[in-house]
């Protein structure tokens, strides 16, 4: 009997979340030793919210995606790796026992593209912040020049 | 010499095994923890000092290089330079020796550093940060070397060690939060200071620190603003004050015989939002008719020498007393700054003092004797203002800050470097109506650093700064969600420069203010015009043009 993949995910939610969190955490410089840091707990929390949004289409995924990408966008992790988190999840879901009547691929690809947008937005904010900081530092000089 | 209290080698070994933090015990596939790779990437290193900056300062090894280079072009015999430098400092600085010897690896500091909390990188645990240098110290300097070598990690000095030092001693903002929790009183900030000194001996450095040092050395302030421009900047703020309040304040410059010399970080004179804090000071001094002057030579309270070497800190600091003597003032009043106060409070009195030519500071308005400033002869503006308010000497309307919902960020150096917690809160509560504290373990002596202190405020270092500032930003997010806080008030120029960036990334919509900017907003000046805008020329709530109930 085939079932919806969302249902299979929900049945295995706890183990899946643990496995996913461990894999994402391994991308931090300290790997498993990063546990106990605030960034690790924040990632854990955001992944939890994101998993809810992955399976429940009535929930807004934009907010959890914005939050997790905001954390990842400034870590010492290459973008390709940061943005692989949803592919990681896809592979984990596909390994779960039970046959699905439709693949989870579409949903996870859709969310990956959303995550890409969001990640880029955060990087753009960083660029803007750098630019503004330069201007703030030269505030009085610029005022004279622009007067 | 035998010591009955000293542990025997096997006891020492056992104790070490039991107490060391997890990372020190971890099986890292047959490697030592320090073998975890160090990789310089965009956003995790600051540009090195330009050759001309080093030449200006007569510092070692001027050259063009980058942290991402394979070969850092260290000078010939660099190992000996570091070795001799360390030996010399172990002799001269007792604290350095004690801190090298006395860590019991209890791990109490491990999760206290904002850089560990924000990066998850175990080498940012203060205990491991110190181990980076302790491992070399053990190898080369202690009689315990043989005993400890087999199990505690000691290693020889290589270029990779230097790279690692550069990475991690420039991911410590010398904030001292870890020291609050250390049962042995180890101050990792002081270890960082020592290692940065050592690195400077071989030309491994940071332009964001050394360029301001060179500028300070030449013209007196970080940006290298010359006297006429410095004065022009302030006079243009005087014009702004007049536009907002209708009052013309009259600061004087280099005036001999003034009672008080006022020194503040130069960020208050050229940067946004520091300039609004400067406007606040000027209004305050006018309000109380203070007999003060501003020096265009001691035109910088900040002292990036502190992030460079003890000698450089001393040299840059000297202008404060020089200028006070030349102008014949009675005492010095200092503006809102973080590290300036650590230098003043902890070092100035002995480093460049005693300043016997100055008087023990007494407020000319209230008569209060600032006995705690008896030795340095320099008073913190928050204390000065708190005393004025306490004696009812200021006419204030806190409603003028009703457009702001505030919280207060304790600057590391003022909080942990001089123990000042109450005065700024007292002032803040008198000049505004909405104030909420951030969680207990993120304020006062446990305050979290902005993540950009000690000269790490470089733009190219932004990613690491956002990571290091994550704990502070999370605490602000907490009061923002709970109490709709939108204004982060601080008494530090580096905070005023760096927190706007941190807030924009993690808590967009939260703006950063200096304490005296809010004082300036609230002051009811004699003869002022109807106030409708704050010092940023933003509308005040309830003070609109046609609103008559003021
Ligand atoms: S002084 Fe501050 S930045 Fe440095 S190790 Fe301690 S807590 Fe971290
Ligand atoms: S708290 Fe002090 S004694 Fe304990 S590990 Fe940290 S530095 Fe060492």
In this complex, which of A29, A129, A139 lies closest to B501 when CB atoms are compared? A129
pLDDT of residue B8: 57
- Give the CA distances from residue B34 to residues A40, B26, B86, B140, in Å, rounded to whole numbers and listed in that order: 21, 12, 20, 17
pLDDT in tens, A95-125: 888 776 667 888 899 999 999 999 999 999 9
pLDDT value, residue B401: 98
Which among B491, B275, B520 has a CA at the least distance from the CA of A142? B275
Say whether pLDDT at B357 is over 90: yes
DSSP B354-383: --TTSPPPB-TTT--B-GGGTTT-EEEHHH
B118: nearest CB among A38, A138, A141: A38
**Amino acid A141: pLDDT:** 86
pLDDT confidence tier of residue B205, bands split at 50, 70 and 90: very high
Domains identified in chain A, total number: 1
> Where residue B16 falls among pLDDT bands split at 50, 70, 90?
low
Nearest 5 degrees, angle CA B526-CA B542-CA B532? 45
Contact at CB, B497 and A137, closer than 8 angstroms: yes
Segment B273-295 shows an average pLDDT of 98
Q: Indicate whether A56 belongs to any domain.
A: yes
Distance B99 CA to ligand 2 centre (A): 10
Question: Does the beta carbon of B181 lie under 8 angstroms from any beta carbon of chain A?
Answer: no
CB of B497 within 8 Å of any CB in chain A?
A: yes
For residue A99, what are its two tokens?
A: 């046959």
For residues B257 and B292, give the distance between their C-alpha atoms in angstroms, rounded to a whole number: 9
- Chain B closest CA to A96's CA: distance in Å? 30
Residues 6+ apart with CB under 8 A from A104: A5, A6, A9, A90, A93, A94
Q: Which two tokens stand for residue B255?
A: 């005036």
Contacts of B527 (CB under 8 A, 6+ apart): B246, B247
- Crossing angle of the two packed helices B274-288 and B515-522, in degrees rounded to 10: 50
Measured in residues, chain B has a length of 550
What's the gap in Å between the CA of B501 and the closest CA on chain A?
6
Summarised one tens digit per residue, pLDDT across range B123-132 is 999 999 999 9
Determine, for residues A76 and B41 on separate chains, whether the beta-carbon distance falls below 8 Å.
yes
B509 touches A: beta carbon within 8 Å: no
Residue ranges lining ligand 2, Cβ < 6 Å:
B 103-109, 126-127, 181-182, 184, 186
Global pTM reads 0.93
* Per-residue 3-state assignment (H helix, E strand, C coil) for B409-447: ECCHHHHHHHCCCHHHHHHHHHHCCCECCCCHHHCHHHC
| Element (DSSP H or E) covering residue B517 | helix B515-522
Cβ(B177) – ligand 1 distance below 6 Å: yes
A61–chain B nearest CA distance, Å: 19
Q: Say how many Å lie between the first and final Cα of chain A, rounded.
A: 75
Q: What is the DSSP letter of B259?
A: S
Q: Kindly report the CA angle at B33 between A16 and B42, in degrees rounded to 5? A: 75
Rounded distance, CA B207 to CA B131, Å? Answer: 26
Top-confidence residue, A6 or B271 = B271
Domain enclosing residue A23, as ranges: 4-121
Dihedral angle computed from the Cα positions of residues B389, B394, B395 and B397, in that order, rounded to the nearest 10 degrees: -50
* Per-residue pLDDT at B467 exceeds 80: yes
Q: Supply B324's token pair.
A: 């006070």
Rounded Cα–Cα distance for residues B169 and A115 (Å) = 34
Q: How far apart are CA B208 and CA A128, in angstroms?
A: 20
- Residue to probe by mutation, ligand 1, list B178, B184, B452, most atoms within 8 Å of CB: B178
A127 within some domain: no
**Residue A98 carries which DSSP code?**
S
A-contacting residues in B 123-162 (Cβ below 8 Å) = 123
**ω into residue A112 within 30 of 0, thus cis?**
no
Determine the Cα angle at B428 with ends B424 and B434, to 5°: 145
Please tell me the distance in Å from A142's CA to the nearest CA on chain B.
Answer: 10
CA atoms of B329 and A61, how far apart (whole Å) = 64
Of A39, A135, A144, which is closest to B120 when you measure between CB atoms?
A39
pLDDT given at position B30? 63
> For residue B188, is pLDDT > 90?
yes
pLDDT at A42 over 80: yes
Within-domain flag for A78: yes
* Upper half-sphere CA count for residue B88 (Cβ side, 13 Å): 11
Q: Reduced to 3 states, what is the DSSP secondary structure of residue B331? A: strand
Is residue A17 reached through a cis peptide bond, with omega within 30 degrees of 0 on the bond before it? no
Cα B485 to averaged position of ligand 1 atoms, centre (Å): 27
Per-residue buried b or exposed e for B268-302, using 16+ beta carbons within 10 Å of the residue's own CB: bbbbbbbbbbbbbbbbbbbbbebebbbbbbbbbbb
The model's confidence at residue B3, banded by pLDDT at 50, 70 and 90, is: very low
Higher pLDDT among residues B30 and B242, named by residue: B242
| Domain assignment present for A137 | no
| E strand or H helix at A107 | helix A105-137
Closest protein CA for atom 4 of ligand 2? B106
Sketch the domain layout of chain B as residue ranges: 27-205, 213-522
Which residue has its alpha carbon closest to ligand 2 atom 1? Answer: B182
pLDDT in tens, B213-262: 999 999 989 988 899 999 999 999 999 999 999 999 999 999 999 999 99
Looking at ligand 2, which residue's alpha carbon is closest to its atom 8? B103
> How much is the pLDDT for B90?
94
| Mean pLDDT, rounded, of chain B | 92
pLDDT of residue B12: 53
pLDDT for A140 equals 87
How many whole angstroms separate alpha carbon A103 and alpha carbon A81? Answer: 23
């Amino acid at each position: 009997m085939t079932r919806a993949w969302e249902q299979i995910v929900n049945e295995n939610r706890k183990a899946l979340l643990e496995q996913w969190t461990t894999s994402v955490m391994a991308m931090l410089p300290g790997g498993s030793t990063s546990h106990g840091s605030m960034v690790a707990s924040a990632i854990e929390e955001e992944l939890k919210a994101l998993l809810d949004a992955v399976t429940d289409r009535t929930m807004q995924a934009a907010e959890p995606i914005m939050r997790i990408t905001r954390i990842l966008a400034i870590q010492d992790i290459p973008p390709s790796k940061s943005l692989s988190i949803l592919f990681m999840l896809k592979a984990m879901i596909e390994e779960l026992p039970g046959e699905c009547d439709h693949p989870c691929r579409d949903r996870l690809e859709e969310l990956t593209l959303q995550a890409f947008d969001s990640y880029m937005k955060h990087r753009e904010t960083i660029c803007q912040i750098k630019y503004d900081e330069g201007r703030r530092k030269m505030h009085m000089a610029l005022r004279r020049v622009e007067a | 010499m035998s010591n009955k209290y000293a542990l025997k080698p096997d006891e020492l070994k056992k104790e070490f095994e039991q107490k060391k933090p997890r990372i020190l015990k971890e099986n890292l596939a047959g490697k030592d923890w320090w073998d975890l790779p160090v990789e310089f990437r965009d956003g995790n290193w600051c540009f090195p000092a330009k050759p001309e900056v080093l030449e200006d300062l007569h510092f070692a090894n001027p050259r063009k290089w980058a942290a991402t280079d394979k070969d850092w072009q260290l000078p010939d015999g660099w190992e000996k330079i570091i070795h001799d430098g360390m030996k010399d400092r172990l002799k001269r600085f007792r604290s350095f020796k004690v801190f090298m010897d006395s860590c019991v690896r209890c791990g109490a500091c491990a999760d206290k550093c904002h850089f560990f909390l924000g990066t998850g990188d175990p080498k940012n645990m203060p205990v491991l940060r110190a181990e980076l240098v302790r491992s070399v110290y053990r190898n080369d300097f202690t009689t315990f070397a043989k005993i400890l070598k087999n199990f505690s990690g000691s290693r020889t000095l290589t270029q990779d060690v230097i790279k690692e030092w550069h990475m991690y001693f420039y991911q410590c903002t010398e904030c001292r939060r870890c020291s609050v929790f250390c049962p042995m009183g180890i101050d990792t900030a002081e270890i960082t200071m020592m290692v940065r000194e050592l690195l400077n001996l071989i030309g491994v450095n940071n332009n964001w620190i050394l360029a301001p040092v060179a500028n300070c050395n030449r013209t007196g302030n970080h940006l290298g603003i010359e006297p006429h421009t410095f004065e022009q900047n302030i006079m243009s703020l005087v014009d702004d004050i007049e536009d907002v309040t209708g009052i013309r304040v009259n600061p004087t410059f280099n005036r001999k015989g003034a009672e008080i010399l006022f020194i503040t970080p130069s960020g208050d004179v050229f940067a946004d939002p520091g300039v609004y804090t400067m406007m606040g000071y000027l209004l305050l001094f006018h309000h109380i008719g203070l007999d003060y002057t501003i020096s265009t030579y001691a035109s910088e309270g900040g002292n990036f020498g502190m992030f460079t070497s003890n000698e450089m800190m001393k040299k840059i600091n000297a202008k404060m007393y020089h200028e006070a003597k030349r102008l014949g003032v009675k005492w010095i009043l200092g503006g809102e700054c973080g590290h300036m106060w650590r230098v003043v409070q902890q070092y100035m009195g002995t480093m460049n003092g005693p300043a016997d030519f100055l008087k023990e500071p007494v407020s000319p308005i209230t008569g209060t004797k600032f006995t705690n400033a008896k030795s340095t002869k320099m008073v913190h503006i928050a204390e000065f203002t708190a005393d004025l308010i306490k004696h009812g000497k200021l006419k204030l309307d806190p409603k003028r800050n009703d457009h702001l919902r505030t919280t207060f960020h304790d600057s590391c150096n003022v909080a942990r470097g001089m123990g000042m917690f109450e005065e700024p809160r007292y002032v803040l509560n008198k000049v505004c109506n909405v104030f909420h504290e951030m969680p207990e373990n993120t304020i006062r002596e446990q305050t979290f650093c902005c993540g950009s202190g000690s000269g790490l405020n470089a733009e190219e270092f932004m990613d690491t700064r956002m990571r290091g500032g994550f704990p502070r930003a999370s605490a602000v997010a907490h009061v923002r969600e709970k109490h709709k806080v939108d204004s982060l008030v601080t008494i530090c120029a580096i905070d005023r420069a760096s927190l706007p960036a941190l807030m924009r990334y993690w808590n967009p919509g939260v703006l950063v203010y200096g304490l005296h900017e809010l004082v300036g907003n609230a002051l009811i000046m004699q003869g002022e015009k109807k106030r409708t805008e704050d010092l940023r020329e933003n509308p005040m709530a309830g003070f609109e043009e046609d609103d008559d109930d003021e």
